[in-house]
A and B are shown apart, each in its own frame.
Chain A
């Protein structure tokens, strides 16, 4: 007992009637953000994705070549020749610039399609799940029927009936893409709507709309974002798939999918025509998948 003070054995009388909170507080968003940042793979993927996006946006300004103008006498140059970093294609167009342009087309297709899905899927799921009963039954029948039609049927037929192009590809994705989102949101809503905090808001007289938007939606956001992030690679893949079976964006526009399709039959002769778009496609898909995983882990909390 080294330094016993005189008053050590007197009552401290530190009576507290009110709890006091000390310690730093993080909002939910901050928490998710911090957890996400700790996931190295996801952060690297995000950086890769940003670089790819920058390339897609900036390439036309960085390079003197146009993605669409043919220079037939420059055709099929190997990478590095004449300042063509990735070489040139059958029409003598610079592959680097084309890959960049294709990436931006692919990304746009995916983002637009997914954004629309997000809106349709989320509101469908919210309405169907929250109101339940007959409304739910009816809406569920619709999704049930839609989901029994193999996706490929809808997509191929639609793209054939409409003319191939961005609009029809996006429409096709819209028709089928939202079902998954709506299912996930609905399941979440079904779970949340019997949760005690929603019941509590109900007993206080909160309106349905407010309950949906301020009590339920924020709690499904995590799932929605994860699903959204995972559907982006799906959409990119779908676009590439359509291109692969010959239903891609029309020339001279090129998406990664159409470029791969073009290069596919020349892989042993001009491998660089297919390697670079494949590389970009794989990187984008990989990055989105890893980010989505990271996001899910961050949202669910490890």
Chain B
């Protein structure tokens, strides 16, 4: 034990030795490589890089046409006609056809398959998608058609401004119907039952392995622009092990934990990004006492978010004042960040405010204790929960907080059954639009676990759906956001940090905040 010597200040070697190979460490296992079932972000990364769709996202977070060579819009933007590239081929030599998309998207919408992402065609505005998912219309009625082998016509219910970005997500990837049917149950279970339309293909892999090797797909239409020949994804859940792998030179890109940040802050390979999740407390408004807004506000004001991020987490996370996270959406007219425009003083640390609200709440309710639920999927939650407990008990004299740690599935179960008081939870957007977060607070939404209901909020959300004017829509959503945060029904705490070690000579491999985290096609080594 005496050999554990701290403060070993060796700087990790700066660049990869190898010019065309990188190893990226991921912390989630691969659950499936079937595009519509791939749920964990490692899975969607692999799918997106091997089964390219109509779009990809470039290094500057901009959607770029991928398998589609061009797109024409008509009918007030409600019909989009995509032309599939002539040279788009599957790795088995089959041409990629429009039908591959129709087939794939119908599977995605099929309520029987119940893909976790089956809300996405609806979110993209594709015609009838929501009704199909709800079982009201047959799958065939989905607004996609192949009018020729290379012509894909998509019909929309309404225009969705961020549709291109959405279509870059892995679940919209094409599926070769013939191959799929031949592979049967084995489809995507291992690398010999997969074919690829994207820049990479998978070498010697089966579901359950904790390493995936991607090698350049020679049949890829844009193969000449793919610079890195090999990408290895290693799954290591322990960030310290990952850091050691980085130091050993066996990894080139690893995620760090807050504790490791203090060790690597000065390292030239260190990159401190923010992540795409907002961490917040969700109150169960069905619980007597917790429906009292003053109580919730008192709790919110007693928490010093800055202290959490700088002293406890230390991972570059930032205090959060908005449900919509930073860097996700910009004001279409001013270019200001949505998160900065949503302001309220409820989330500033203020013992005085807290006391004021608490005194008010004490008169209205006799709730003097509640349980704070959190799960064990990240070690930091326990620390944050312990901190909240201490703060609340300090500033709200007479209030007692009980901590309860459960498995994540148990927490979500309690949330969906509303058998909890308050829970520490987080939400990440599936696409870069405020609705990706706000829509779940609509009173009818299944994911509205706090059971918060506000008719004005609902109305604003419905309006925004129908609005094609981006500026106007932005305003509606901002207003809805403010209603939500002023209610303190789900006080945000912080937006998580995403500190990483990345070899300094790797270029153009940003981590995208929403959707698929990595597109390796654009990356290169200098």
A268 touches B263 (CB 8 A): yes
Q: In whole angstroms, what is the CA distance A76 to B386 when docked?
A: 16
Contact flags B403-422 to A (C-beta < 8 A → 1, else 0): 11111000000000000000
Q: In whole angstroms, what is the CA distance A105 to B405 when docked?
A: 17
Known: A92-B311, A160-B407, A269-B260. A252 touches B386 (CB 8 A): yes
Contact flags A46-86 to B (C-beta < 8 A → 1, else 0): 00000000000000000000001110110110100000000
Chain B CB within 8 A of A246 CB: yes
Q: Select one of A68, A264, A270, A278 contacting B6, CB under 8 A.
A: A270
Chain B CB within 8 A of A265 CB: yes
Q: In whole angstroms, what is the CA distance A271 to B406 when docked?
A: 27
Q: Select one of A90, A262, A265, A278 contacting B240, CB under 8 A.
A: A265
CB neighbours (8 Å) of A92 from chain B are 311
CB neighbours (8 Å) of B94 from chain A are none
For chain B, the bracket of interface size reads: 35 or more
Contact flags B386-399 to A (C-beta < 8 A → 1, else 0): 11011000000000
A72 touches B8 (CB 8 A): no
Most buried by B among A252, A262, A272: A252
Chain B contact surface mostly: helix
A164 touches B383 (CB 8 A): no
CB neighbours (8 Å) of B243 from chain A are 268
Q: Select one of A70, A251, A262, A266 contacting B405, CB under 8 A.
A: A251
B251 → chain A closest CB, angstroms: 15
Chain A CB within 8 A of B18 CB: no
A22 → chain B closest CB, angstroms: 55
B450 → chain A closest CB, angstroms: 22
A242 → chain B closest CB, angstroms: 12
A161 → chain B closest CB, angstroms: 10
The residue of chain B having its C-beta at the shortest distance from the C-beta of A278 within the complex is B1
Known: A271-B4, A278-B1. A76 touches B383 (CB 8 A): no
Q: In whole angstroms, what is the CA distance A246 to B468 when docked?
A: 48
Known: A90-B259, A251-B385, A269-B259. A78 touches B307 (CB 8 A): no
The residue of chain B having its C-beta at the shortest distance from the C-beta of A164 within the complex is B405
Known: A72-B387, A251-B405. A265 touches B238 (CB 8 A): yes
Contact residues of A between 259 and 296, Cβ < 8 Å to B: 262, 264-272, 274-275, 278-279
A271 touches B390 (CB 8 A): no
Known: A246-B376, A266-B240. A279 touches B1 (CB 8 A): yes
Chain B CB within 8 A of A91 CB: yes
Chain A: residues with CB nearer than 8 A to chain B?
68-70, 72-73, 75-76, 78, 90-92, 160, 163-164, 246, 250-252, 262, 264-272, 274-275, 278-279
Given A70-B387, A92-B311, output 13 extra A-B contacts at Cβ < 8 Å.
Answer: A69-B390, A72-B311, A72-B387, A75-B312, A76-B259, A90-B258, A246-B376, A250-B403, A262-B382, A266-B259, A267-B4, A267-B240, A278-B1
Chain B: residues with CB nearer than 8 A to chain A?
1, 4-6, 8, 238-240, 243-244, 257-260, 262-263, 304, 307-308, 310-312, 376, 379, 382-383, 385-387, 389-390, 403-407
26 pairs across A/B with beta carbons < 8 Å? A68-B386, A70-B386, A70-B387, A72-B312, A72-B387, A76-B259, A78-B6, A90-B312, A91-B383, A91-B387, A163-B406, A164-B406, A246-B376, A251-B386, A252-B389, A252-B403, A262-B382, A264-B240, A265-B239, A265-B379, A266-B259, A267-B4, A268-B243, A271-B4, A271-B5, A271-B6
